[in-house]
């Protein structure tokens, strides 16, 4: 069975003073069977969240929102994979906001994936198209290019062992209140698995594909009723315990149904 995953991307929100309390509250509100929960706070709050969850719910994973593509060097303000040891077990790589704001290329993102795997971090690789690309019918080609650029040079066996996760985030649906339909997201999830199977066959079995793009407790069911979607990368709603409780509860129903059918 593929992992059912709900990952919270807090983006540039919370401080070390309040992140621990929020993490504890979310952990307490989302306990259940079958769902892998991950919280990704800002770098400065990783230790606070780690310590809070160690006391209350160590089953919740901790992720970083980014990692540098080099192990060390003169890169002011950056954080390398070895620096995350003991602070995080997961890392988001290639988020559309990093591609946009930091001009990250697919080649750089691929190097980040490699550094994450070397450090024992489980990567959540983000891919997705712009609105114009979707309207032109180019979304699969765009995602194929992103996956090829990011995964070339990485061994399929190593990707599978690292537990590679792909998050499909249509860029036009992030922070806009607009989201893709469940059918559209499922079609892309199928395309992602085909692309990975064609180029990195060993990584395809068990590959979890998440949806990310204005996910809320009100719309999550539309995505999780699709057999090809295995959870969500949650942005703004992940800062709200009630929203996270609803999202994880719905993910739990999907996990239970898949377990019963296995």
Query: What is the DSSP annotation of 157-179?
Result: HHHHHTT-EEEE--GGGSSSS--
Q: What is the pLDDT of residue 174?
A: 75
Q: What is the pLDDT of residue 177?
A: 66
Q: Is residue 252 part of a domain?
A: no
Own/partner pairs, 258-262, CB within 8 angstroms, 24+ separation? 258/1, 258/4, 259/1, 259/34, 262/1
**CATH for 143:** 3.20.20.70
Tokens matching residue 160: 């599978």
Beta-sheet strands, E only, within 141-246: 165-168, 208-211, 231-234
Q: Is residue 189 part of a domain?
A: yes
Looking at the structure of the chain, the number of domains it has is 1
User: What percent of the chain is predicted at pLDDT more than 70?
Assistant: 98
Domain boundaries, position 195 = 4-92+106-207+226-237
For the segment 118-141, the average pLDDT, to the nearest whole number, is 95
Asked if 123 and 116 count as a contact pair (C-beta separation under 8 A), the reply is yes
- Give the tens place of pLDDT for each residue, 175-213: 666 668 999 999 999 999 999 999 999 999 999 999 998
- Give the tens place of pLDDT for each residue, 160-174: 999 999 999 999 877
Q: Count Cα neighbours of 60 within 13 Å in the Cβ-side half-sphere.
A: 32
pTM, rounded to two decimals: 0.96
Q: Is residue 100 part of a domain?
A: no
* 24 pLDDT higher than 70: yes
Q: Is residue 231 part of a domain?
A: yes
Q: How far apart are CA 168 and CA 188, in angstroms?
A: 8
- Give the tens place of pLDDT for each residue, 66-95: 999 999 999 999 999 999 999 999 999 999
Residues with a catalytic annotation lie at 95, 169
Q: Is residue 13 part of a domain?
A: yes
* 98 pLDDT higher than 80: yes
* 234 pLDDT higher than 70: yes
Q: Is residue 36 part of a domain?
A: yes
* 7, β-bridge pairs: 38, 233
For the segment 35-55, the average pLDDT, to the nearest whole number, is 98
Q: Is residue 39 part of a domain?
A: yes
Q: What is the pLDDT of residue 180?
A: 85
For the segment 105-115, the average pLDDT, to the nearest whole number, is 96
Q: Is residue 26 part of a domain?
A: yes
Q: What is the pLDDT of residue 247?
A: 98
Mean pLDDT over each residue of the chain, to the nearest integer:
95
């Amino acid at each position: 069975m593929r992992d059912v995953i709900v990952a919270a991307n807090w983006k540039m929100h919370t401080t070390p003073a309040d992140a621990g309390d929020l993490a504890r509250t979310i952990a307490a509100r989302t306990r259940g069977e079958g769902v892998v929960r991950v919280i990704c706070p800002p770098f400065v709050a990783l230790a606070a969240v780690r310590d809070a969850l160690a006391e209350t719910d160590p089953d919740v994973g901790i992720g970083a929102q980014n990692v540098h593509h080099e192990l060390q060097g003169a890169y002011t303000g950056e954080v390398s994979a070895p620096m995350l040891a003991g602070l995080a077990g997961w890392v988001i790589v290639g988020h559309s906001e990093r591609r946009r704001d930091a001009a990250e290329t697919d080649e750089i993102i691929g190097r980040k994936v490699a550094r994450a795997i070397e450090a024992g971090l489980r990567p959540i690789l983000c891919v997705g198209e712009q609105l114009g690309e979707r309207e032109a019918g180019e979304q699969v080609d765009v995602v194929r290019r992103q996956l090829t650029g990011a995964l070339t040079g990485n061994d399929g066996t190593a990707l599978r062992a690292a537990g590679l996760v792909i998050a499909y985030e249509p860029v036009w649906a992030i922070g806009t209140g607009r989201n893709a339909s469940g059918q559209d997201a499922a079609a892309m999830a199928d395309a992602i698995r085909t692309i990975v199977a064609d180029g990195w066959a060993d990584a395809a079995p068990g590959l979890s594909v998440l949806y990310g793009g204005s996910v809320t407790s009100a719309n999550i069911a539309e995505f999780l009723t699709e057999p090809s979607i295995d959870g969500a990368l949650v942005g703004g709603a992940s800062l709200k315990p009630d929203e996270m409780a609803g999202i994880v509860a719905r993910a739990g129903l999907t996990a239970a149904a898949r377990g019963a059918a296995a």
